[in-house]
């Protein structure tokens, strides 16, 4: 599949509001673009759960892929 744009994002840290603002700024379109997440989806931010849910939805649509970071692995271990 060919994508219009591909973006790599690292260390979301659960900062859901900032993540949503970034997607707006990029004019991200899940039907045309792809996000690559370089780990640490959760941790210090205000809403790790919403961040995880949104990333999971995009991955299920084929609009995103992710690798686990140390914060993500720690969450799974707990």
Cα dihedral across residues 21, 35, 14, 51: positive or negative: positive
Give the per-residue pLDDT at 32: 97
pLDDT tens track for 4-23: 999 999 999 999 999 999 99
Give the per-residue pLDDT at 56: 97
**Coil/strand/helix, residue 37:** strand
pLDDT tens track for 49-69: 999 999 999 999 999 999 999
Report, as an integer, the average pLDDT of 24-52: 96
Domain ranges of the chain: 5-77
Instruction: List residues with catalytic annotation.
Output: 71
With 0.85 as the threshold, say if the pTM is over it: yes
Give the per-residue pLDDT at 1: 72
Q: Are 73 and 62 in contact (CB under 8 A)?
A: no
């Amino acid at each position: 599949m060919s994508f219009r744009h591909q973006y790599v994002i690292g260390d979301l840290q659960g900062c859901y509001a900032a993540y949503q603002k970034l997607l707006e700024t990029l004019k991200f379109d899940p039907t045309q673009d792809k996000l690559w997440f370089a780990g640490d989806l959760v941790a210090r931010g205000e809403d790790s759960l919403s961040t995880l849910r949104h990333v999971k939805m995009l991955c299920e649509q084929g609009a995103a892929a992710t690798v686990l970071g140390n914060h993500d692995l720690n969450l799974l271990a707990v």
